[in-house]
Structure 1
Amino acid sequence: MIQNKGDTVIIKGSKFMYVWVFLATVGFLLACIFLIIHGLKFNSKYSFLYLGGGIVLTPFYLYLTIWSMPGLMPGKVLLKIVPGDKGTVIAPKSPVLIKNIRNIDLIRNPLNLINDIVIETLDDQKIKIRTYNLLDDGDFQVIADQYIFPYMNDNARKVWDRKIDLDKLREKDNYVRQDHRIE
C-alpha cells in the first residue's frame, strides 16, 4: 500500500480493499443477474421477489461497477507524496505544495459513493483525488498525519488536529504520531 521510492512515497490501494470493492460491485451485480435468471424459471413461490429484486437492483450495481472499474486495475497509484519543507502531493491532475494546503479531507461523493481526497489550497483551489474506495478512512488519516501533517502551515495543522482522534488511531491502527513542531 505505501511504497518508498527514493524521496517519494507512493500510495496504492490495499489488496484487501481491492477484494472488498470487487465483491461490493461486481459480486452484487452478478448476484442480481443470478436472481433474475432464477426468477424467470418460476419454479418457486418467491420467483416474483427474485425477479423484482434483480431488476430493481441491477441498474444500481451496474452504475457502481462502472464507476469503480478504473480503480480495479492492479497496481493503481492513487497519489504520490514528496515529504519535506518543499514537499508536494502529486495528484493525477496537478501537484500541490504541502505548505499551500489549507484543508485535506476524505469525503464520500454522494453521486457515485466513492471516497475522494479533497485538498483545499490557500489560493482557493479544490483538488479532488479519486480513491475508488481503495483507501480506508484510518489509513488515509495515518498517511496524512505521517507524511503531510509535519510540513503543513500552522493553521492547517490546527485544523487537522481538530479533525482526527490520535487515541482512536493508536487503538485501531496502532499509530503513534512522531513529535513535530506544533505551536
Structure 2
Amino acid sequence: MSNIREEENTIFIKGSKFYYVLMFLATVGFLIGCVFLIINGLKFNSKYSLFYLGGGILFTPFYLYLTLWSLPGFIPGKILLKIIPGEGGRVIAKKGTIPIKNIQDISFVRNPLNLINDIVIQTFDDKKIKIRTYNLLDELVYEMMVDQYIYPYMHEHAKQVWDRKINLERLSKEARYERKEPKID
C-alpha cells in the first residue's frame, strides 16, 4: 500500500516501499545483469558466449536509460504530491498547484518514452500538468486516492468523467474500498 499520511488538513502521498524495492530491482538489477552477461560473454568459455555478449551489449543502453529516468524517484522520503481537500481544495505538485474545482480530467498514463506512470491533470483553462510517479504508485491506490480526496470536491462535469473511468465494483472486490460521502463542515 502507498504511504498516505494526513497532517492537519493536508494529505501527503508517497510511494510504496514495496514499489521502491521493485523499481530498484527492475532498473539497477537488470543493469547489473547486463554487465554480468557482457563479462561472461567476453570469457568465451561457452558456445553461447556470443549470445551473452550480444544480449548484454544490446540491453545495457536500454536499462541504463530506464535507470537514469528512475533515479529521482529513489530520493528517500520523496513526496509525489500533496492534496488539500475541501471546497477550496487543491492538488500541490512540483510543477504547480491546481485547484480541485478547476480539474476537468485526471488520468493515470504510462509515458511511452520512459515507461514511467504519470498522473495527468487537465484543467478547464486548457493546462496539462503531469505529475511523475516513478512507478511508485499503484493504479488501485491512485484510483482510491482520487476517489476519496479529490472526487467529492470536483466540478460536476469532472465527476461524470471520473465515474465513467472508475470501476467501483473492482475497487470494492480487490481493495475493499467503498465510496463515502464527504463530511460537510
User: TM-score, normalised to structure 1's length?
Assistant: 0.97
Q: 2:122 aligns to what?
A: 120
Which of 125, 142, 145 is the equivalent residue of 1:143? Answer: 145
- 1:15 counterpart residue number: 17
Q: Distance in 2 between matches of 1:90 and 1:180?
A: 20
Following TM superposition, by how much is the alpha carbon of 1:49 offset from its aligned partner in structure 2, in angstroms? 0.7
Q: Equivalents in 2 of 1:41, 1:166: separation in Å?
A: 56
1:97-108 aligned within 5 A: 97-108=99-110
The secondary structure found in structure 2 opposite 1:104 is: strand
Secondary structure (helix, strand or coil) at the match of 2:76 reads coil
Give the Cα–Cα distance (whole angstroms) in 2 for the partners of residues 67 and 93 of structure 1.
Answer: 17
Q: How does 1:1-183 map to 2 (within 5 A)?
A: 1-179=3-181
Superposed CA RMSD: 1.1
Give me the whole-angstrom Cα distance separating, in 2, the residues matched to 1:115 and 1:56: 25
Q: Distance in 2 between matches of 1:24 and 1:134?
A: 12
> What is the deviation of 1:179?
3.1
Work out the CA distance in 2 between the residues paired with 1:168 and 1:50.
Answer: 43
CA distance in 1 between counterparts of 2:99 and 2:162 reads 16
TM-score (norm 2): 0.96
SS in 1 for 2:105: strand
Q: 4+ residue runs of structure 1 moved beyond 4 angstroms?
A: none
Q: Which amino acid aligns with 2:95?
A: K
Name the CA distance, whole Å, in 2 between partners of 1:76 and 1:36.
34
How far apart are the structure 1 equivalents of 2:182 and 2:95?
30
Q: Which runs of 5 or more structure 1 residues have no equivalent in the other structure?
A: none
Percent same amino acid among aligned pairs? 62
Deviation at 1:180, TM superposition (A): 5.6
Q: Distance in 1 between matches of 2:15 and 2:76?
A: 9
Q: Distance in 1 between matches of 2:4 and 2:181?
A: 21
Aligned-pair CA distance for 1:174 = 1.4
C-alpha offsets along residues 155-174 of structure 1, whole Å, 9 cap, x if unaligned? 00000000010010111111
